Structure 1
Amino acid sequence: MTYTIPPQTRIGHVHLKVTDLDKALAFYKDILGFEIMQRYGTQAVFLSAGGYHHHIGLNTWYSKNTGPAPVHAAGLFHTAILYPTERDLGVALKRLLDAKYPLTGASDHGVSKAIYLDDPDGNGVELYWDRPKEEWPLDADGNLMMVTEHLDLDAILALI
Structure 2
Amino acid sequence: MPVRRLNHAVLYVNGLKREVEFYTQTLGFEVRMEIPGRAAFLRSPGSVNDHDLGLFDIGAGRATGGPQVGLYHLAWEVGTLAELVEAREKLRAAGALVGESDHRLSKSLYAKDPSGIEFEVMWRVPVEDWDSELAQGEAYTVPLDWDRTLTRWDAGRETGSAAGSPT
TM-score, scaled relative to structure 2: 0.77
| 1:16 matches 2:11 | yes
* Aligned-CA RMSD value: 2.7
Match for residue 26 of structure 1? 21
Contact 2:104–2:130 (CA under 8 A) maintained in structure 1 = yes
Match for residue 163 of structure 2? none
TM-score, scaled relative to structure 1: 0.80
Q: 1:81 to 1:15 in 2, by over 3 A?
A: same
140, 143, 150: which one pairs with 2:143?
Answer: 150
Deviation of 1:153 after TM superposition, in Å, equals 3.9
| 1:56 matches 2:49 | no
Query: Which residue identity is paired with 1:73?
Result: Q
- Return the alpha-carbon distance in structure 2 between the equivalents of residues 77 and 137 of structure 1: 28
Q: 1:110 to 1:157 in 2, by over 3 A?
A: closer
Q: 1:147 to 1:121 in 2, by over 3 A?
A: same
Q: 1:146 to 1:135 in 2, by over 3 A?
A: farther
Match for residue 95 of structure 2? 101
Query: Aligned pair count?
Result: 148
Q: Secondary structure at the match of 1:104?
A: strand
| 1:83 matches 2:78 | yes
Match for residue 159 of structure 2? none
114, 118, 135: which one pairs with 1:120?
Answer: 114
Q: 1:139 to 1:38 in 2, by over 3 A?
A: closer
Query: Which residue identity is paired with 2:117?
Result: N
Q: Secondary structure at the match of 2:68?
A: coil
Contact 2:106–2:123 (CA under 8 A) maintained in structure 1 = yes
Deviation of 1:146 after TM superposition, in Å, equals 7.3
- Return the alpha-carbon distance in structure 2 between the equivalents of residues 111 and 102 of structure 1: 24
Contact 1:76–1:123 (CA under 8 A) maintained in structure 2 = no
Larger fraction in helix? 2
Q: 1:146 to 1:82 in 2, by over 3 A?
A: farther
Identity %: 33
Deviation of 1:156 after TM superposition, in Å, equals 6.6
Match for residue 6 of structure 1? 2
Deviation of 1:10 after TM superposition, in Å, equals 2.0
